[in-house]
């Protein structure tokens, strides 16, 4: 996506009285690299599912050949139960591809009122962070000036008797220092509690 299209997409989401400070796109390559650890987990998962399907097929075909009763032939569908696990494994292996495709359709924007993350092209998803939502801002800068921004929000997720704050990432920002300064400036507009 070119910068002009990204700016048009961000402007289409502006509310009345809102002005655009910065807009940019995600670097799909950075998103794909970030998804690599997940895909590594998918390899043994898919391999085990494929092994299980293969072994179940051999066992059920041998059982149905040696016996002519309907009960033994009913087990012929048993290998099919491994297919969902194989599909999940393949989906996890392809996580970098999904992240690359999603990253190619992601637009980031900083306005005078919020940080906006727009994903998708025809079916858009818009996530907004107001100054009241932002707890902290961290960033990582690479030697070329690009980097990633992690915004910790006041939203909390509860899982297994544990709570953790939700983090929102802006990945592959070409001029990360400039954008961090604008997000910090937006964060300082936070009303006193």
Pairing state between β 125-129 and 115-119: antiparallel
Which helix (DSSP H) or strand (DSSP E) does residue 178 occupy? helix 176-188
**Rounded Cα distance, 36 and 14, in Å:** 34
Query: Which whole number is the average pLDDT over 57-70?
Result: 72
89 pLDDT band (50/70/90 cuts)?
very high
Question: What pLDDT is stored for residue 88 in this prediction?
Answer: 93
Residue 125 in 3-state DSSP? strand
Query: Which whole number is the average pLDDT over 151-161?
Result: 79
Structure tokens at 109: 């924007």
Closest to 136 measured CA to CA, from 149, 152, 148: 152
Among 23-27, 65-69, 95-99, 116-120, the minimum mean pLDDT is found in: 65-69
Query: Which whole number is the average pLDDT over 94-115?
Result: 87
Query: Which whole number is the average pLDDT over 154-181?
Result: 82
Which of residues 70 and 25 earns the better pLDDT score? 25
Structure tokens at 62: 């041998």
């Amino acid at each position: 996506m070119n910068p002009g299209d990204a700016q048009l997409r961000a402007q289409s989401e502006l509310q009345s009285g809102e002005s655009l400070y910065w807009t940019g796109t995600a670097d799909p390559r950075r998103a794909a690299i970030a998804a690599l650890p997940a895909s590594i987990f998918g390899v043994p998962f898919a391999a085990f599912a494929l092994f299980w399907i293969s072994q179940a097929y051999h066992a059920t075909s041998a059982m149905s050949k040696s016996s002519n009763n309907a009960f033994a032939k009913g087990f012929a569908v048993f290998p099919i139960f491994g297919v969902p696990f194989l599909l999940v494994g393949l989906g996890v292996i392809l996580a970098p591809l999904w992240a690359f495709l999603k990253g190619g359709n992601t637009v980031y924007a900083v306005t005078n009122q919020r940080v906006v993350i727009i994903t998708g092209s025809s079916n858009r998803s818009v996530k907004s962070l107001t100054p009241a939502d932002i707890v902290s801002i961290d960033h990582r800068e690479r030697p070329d000036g690009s980097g990633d921004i992690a915004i910790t929000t006041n939203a909390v997720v509860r899982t297994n008797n544990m709570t953790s704050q939700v983090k929102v990432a802006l990945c592959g920002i070409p001029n990360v220092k400039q954008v961090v300064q604008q997000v910090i400036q937006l964060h300082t507009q936070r009303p006193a509690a």
